[in-house]
Structure 1
Amino acid sequence: MNASPPEPTAVSPHDVRIFDTSLRDGEQSPGCSMTATQKLRFAHALAELGVDIVEAGFPASSSADMDATRAIARELRNTTVATLARCHAGDIEACAAALEQAQAPRIHVFVSTSPLHREHKLGLSREEVLERAVMGVQLARRHVDDVEFSAEDALRTERDFLAEVCAAAIAAGARTINIPDTVGYTTPGEIRELFEYLRANVRDAGRAVFSTHCHNDLGLAVANSLAAIEGGARQVECTINGIGERAGNCALEEVVMALNVRRAHFGVGTRIDTRRLVPTSRLLARITGMSVQRNKAIVGQNAFAHEAGIHQHGMLKHRGTYEIMRPEDVGWSRSQMVLGRHSGRAALQDRLAALGMAVDEAALNAVFARFKALAEKKREVFDADLEALVLGADANVARAYRLLRVQVGTGVGDGNLPTASVQLLDPDGTTLSEAAIGDGPVHALFEALGRATGIELQIDSYHVSSVTTGDDAQGQASLTARHDGVELTGSGTSTDILEASAHAWLDIANRLARTGHVRRPRQTASPTATAIA
């Protein structure tokens, strides 16, 4: 048994380790459970993001969690893989088995320390909790060198006892001491002072990295984590999109960018590749089905979107007037000037110029008046609407390509493939018909549209959302695509989301058609049969 104190852990005072627990604490959030394959895929995404420690799971909880954790430990080579265990022999042995093939294994043991938990959850005295903590750390050290100890509900634990437990865990071999705000109860001032107290009063505190793990029950998880860093914490436990029990955990993307943008204030940084924050957030949303709210910091759809005329005018003069970071630095392609009822002339003129439709002052006045009238009826005015307004046509019907009919088959059942057939009117009024198969119904639809128009689009992102409520809700499909290296966006609306998707694709195609980027497709006598064959 190796129970001697570990050597001081090498960590720069200017670095903060990012410990991601999306796959463990985050997955415990209702509706966020993942399959073993999904967990492995997301673990690789976290490694690519630059996370220092990935908490892969709680192996003793189920055979599925054991299998997933084993796979992650086997495949992640340049990232520490941690597993969670109560200070019980069975839990710790399960962690050791799951981590057998890990390049850099960590066992994370915990026991509750607060009076409330000791009495009502564990039924243990102070002395018994202390003994259990020491036993858990010592047993874990028999299997791995890297052991983390957590005092569950630490923020509601007596300070003297918390310091005693932390010192005992360090003496038993823990290299990381985690101080969790398990129920999201504390405030920034309290947690900063607590970390300062522990680092000053825990025996051999310099032999361990102090860590913070904050929940968001009062909406303070990120603020409390940052305050803990100011108090000396050098590991932050967090999750992508802030998922987790109840109101969630500290959001990784928010705490990382706070440290990044305010580096001069905090004096510390991370090794996170911030350009991967948005792609990682989107991947998690796709895996769990839990969408990110539009106004979510950093990764929300509105995080770099501007609609108010005053803001748009300032942005057009200098982006620093209303943005404290670059959207490209977190994974967005650019800022968005959303045109709606609050937008002004400057934003309208800028968007028209970007669309190649520069107008003189008199024409701009007329277009702006029509734009304002339309904006009162729609939540957002899209590029196709603006093109129609400049042409003086009805924004709802003016299209270069017009969709006449769409039929899509999902391919459900053995041997069936997703198929789509479309019928369009081209700019000359000629009827075009095509069909295709795809990996899914939307992919098949886009393939058929590409065959019909002769336009090849590389789809970068596709999103569907509801813009109204009720059984007859309007669905809005949004696309980002590339054509000859140029990024284009399109939107479409319909009560049928597949029709909305077709309109979004054609929104981009129409812009290309007006600029001459179209080859006339070759029609066959039986286009549907030919395409599917």
Structure 2
Amino acid sequence: MKDNKVQIFDTTLRDGEQVPGCKLDTKQKLIIAERLDQLGVDIIEAGFPVSSPGDFNAVSEVVKVVKNASVCGLTRAVKKDIEVAAEALKNAKRPRIHTGIGTSDSHIKYKFKSSQEEVIRRAKEAVSYAKNFVDDVEFYAEDAGRTDNAFLAKVCEEVIKSGATVLNIPDTTGYCLPEEYGAKIKYLKENVKGIENAILSCHCHNDLGLATANSISGVVNGARQIECTINGIGERAGNTALEEVVMILKQHPYLNLYTDINSQLLFDTSRMVSEKMGMLVQPNKAIVGANAFAHSSGIHQDGVIKNRETYEIINPEDVGVNESSIVLTARSGRAALAYRAKKIGYELTKVQLDVAYKTFLEFADKQKEVVDEDIHLIMKEVNKISKISVA
């Protein structure tokens, strides 16, 4: 792998599916898995096999339809979990077992009622055991965001010795600031012996709205994998949104980082996942929201009509959207009305536009949006008032 390639680890089918009400059946998982493979993700986390017979079956079936990506199964640092995951992944072309344990003081003291030494022992044992089944073993240090850096480095060093190929550094509670998370990744790059033999991975949650910023800070500081979901779905406030990190890296070439994602499939993939999971995408969602390329302010509309880049840093076609939307509201100006009218066959002179605009404002003051059918009515009114045909 090139040093400036950022692998995309998609966990829509595992972490994303943990959202209440978003349960998928096996058929739906297969449809999404095939699309993720087409999209160009590097790793698909297909589920948590030991959690239920349904999850085991789904992972077993996903490996049969995925042609390019690695397929991953999640486990705890428990031998039975690892055995079941290995069985579910046995037909995968590129299987990965994702195992781990909590490393923060909070997890060690309250969740495990254990000690740092015992956590390191269990971590090493889990990785070593997983290596009996697959070559590619990812280790997650749960709640790494709140784990002391020196101890975290020690855990990472020991699991690398045990055979871990990827080190997942999760900000499980979404607590870190971007500077803190980036500094944590940098610390590990500089202080873990053998780090050149493993890939550092960002797995950030969005409790404070910082998941994307933290993930970008992570790769800027040396991580080379981002764990994310379509539409940013996931536990509580969600995970890092795949479409956001992909387009940030694409729109900032000076970072000298790239992914293999086919960005033109992003919008359609977003809609597919939203439909299958019954999880609506908020209109103002970055990249894939209905309003991401919509303009209703007259000043913005005039600028976009003259030159799209005036108010858009992304070409809509780059993410699979046909074109920008000029939405007519009471805040729209003459340029927007003329533009939309021309789209449906009315080429207005300045005189006609002045008359039409007055009528348009009357419509716009009565409703949230003026649509094409309304424009036809406006033109009929203009014909009556001005005797100047615009048909």
Amino acid at match of 1:177: L
Matched, 1:223 2:213: yes
Equivalent residue for 1:390?
379
> Equivalences for 1:242-391 in 2 at 5 Å?
242-264=232-254, 266-391=255-380
Q: CA deviation at 1:359?
A: 2.1
Give yes or no for contact 2:185–2:222 (8 Å, CA) kept in 1: yes
The answer to whether the 8 Å contact 1:26/1:239 transfers is: yes
Task: For residues 369-419 of structure 1, give each alpha carbon's deviation from its aligned partner in whole angstroms, at most 9, with x where no partner exists.
Answer: 01011001111101111011111189xxxxxxxxxxxxxxxxxxxxxxxxx
What are the ranges of 5 or more consecutive residues in structure 2 without an aligned counterpart? 384-390
1:44 aligns to 2:24 (yes or no): no
Answering whether residue 57 of structure 2 is matched by residue 57 of structure 1, we say no
Q: Which amino acid aligns with 1:134?
A: K
C-alpha distance in 2, partners of 1:192/1:120? Answer: 27
Instruction: For residue 192 of structure 1, report the CA deviation from its aligned partner.
Output: 0.9
- The equivalent residue for 2:189 is 199
Please state how far the C-alpha of 1:356 moved relative to its aligned partner. Answer: 1.5
Alignment of 1:63-74 (within 5 A): 63-74=53-64
Secondary structure of the structure 1 residue equivalent to 2:75: strand
Say whether the 8 Å CA contact 1:77–1:102 is kept in structure 2.
no
Q: CA deviation at 1:350?
A: 1.4
Give the conservation status (yes or no) of the 8 Å contact 2:178–2:214: yes
The answer to whether the aligner puts 1:149 opposite 2:132 as a matched pair is: no
Is 1:86–1:111's contact at 8 Å kept on the other side of the alignment?
Answer: yes
How high is the sequence identity, in percent, across the aligned residues?
49
Q: Residue type matched to 1:66 in 2?
A: F
CA distance in 2 between counterparts of 1:40 and 1:169 reads 32
Matches of 2:344 and 2:380, distance apart in 1: 13
SS, match of residue 90 in structure 1: helix
TM-score by length of 2: 0.97
Considering only aligned residues, what root-mean-square deviation do their CA atoms show, in Å?
A: 1.1
Distance 2:328 2:67 in 1: 47
Q: 76, 88, 104: which is aligned to 1:114?
A: 104
CA–CA separation in structure 1 for the residues paired with 2:186 and 2:337: 53
In the other structure, the counterpart of 2:386 is none
Structure 1 stretches of 5 or more lacking a match? 1-10, 395-514, 516-533
Q: Is the contact between residue 355 and residue 382 of structure 2 (CA under 8 Å) also seen in structure 1?
A: no
Q: Return the alpha-carbon distance in structure 2 between the equivalents of residues 185 and 386 of structure 1.
A: 49
Tell me the distance in 2 between the aligned counterparts of 1:268 and 1:231.
11
How far 1:364 sits from its partner (Å)?
Answer: 1.3
Q: Secondary structure at the match of 1:392?
A: helix
Q: Greater strand percent: which structure?
A: 1
Distance 1:188 1:154 in 2: 14
Partner residue of 1:25? 15
Secondary structure in 2 matching 1:339: coil
Measure, in 2, the Cα distance between the counterparts of 1:359 and 1:91: 69
SS at match of 2:92: coil
SS of the residue 2:284 aligns to: coil
Q: How far apart, in 2, do the equivalents of 1:341 and 1:281 lie?
A: 31
Pick one of 202, 205, 210 that aligns with 2:200: 210
Residue 354 of structure 1: CA displacement?
1.9
Q: TM-score, normalised by structure 1?
A: 0.71
Amino acid at match of 2:224: R
The amino acid of 1:350's aligned partner reads Y
Equivalent position to 2:116, from 112, 123, 126: 126
Q: Distance in 2 between matches of 1:86 and 1:162?
A: 18
Q: Give 2:72's aligned amino acid.
A: A
* Alignment: residue pair count: 384
- Cα distance per residue 1:134-171 (max 9 Å; x no partner): 01001100000000001000111121111110001100
Q: Deviations over 1:58-91 (max 9, x none)?
A: 0000000000000001221211000000010010
- Paired residues for 1:351-500 under 5 Å: 351-392=340-381
Read off the aligned partner of 2:304 and give its amino acid letter. Answer: M
1:104 & 1:219 partners in 2: Cα distance? 33
1:223 shift after superposition: 0.3
Deviation of the 1:360 alpha carbon: 2.0
Query: Does the 8 Å contact 2:145/2:170 carry over to 1?
Result: yes
Q: 1:174, CA displacement in angstroms?
A: 0.5
Task: Provide, for residues 186-224 of structure 1, a one-character-per-residue CA deviation record: whole Å limited to 9, x for no partner.
Answer: 001001111111011001000000001000000000000
* 1:167/1:205 contact within 8 Å kept: yes
Q: Give yes or no for the alignment of 1:168 onto 2:141.
A: no
Q: Distance in 2 between matches of 1:366 and 1:145?
A: 72
The structure having more radius of gyration, on CA atoms, is 1
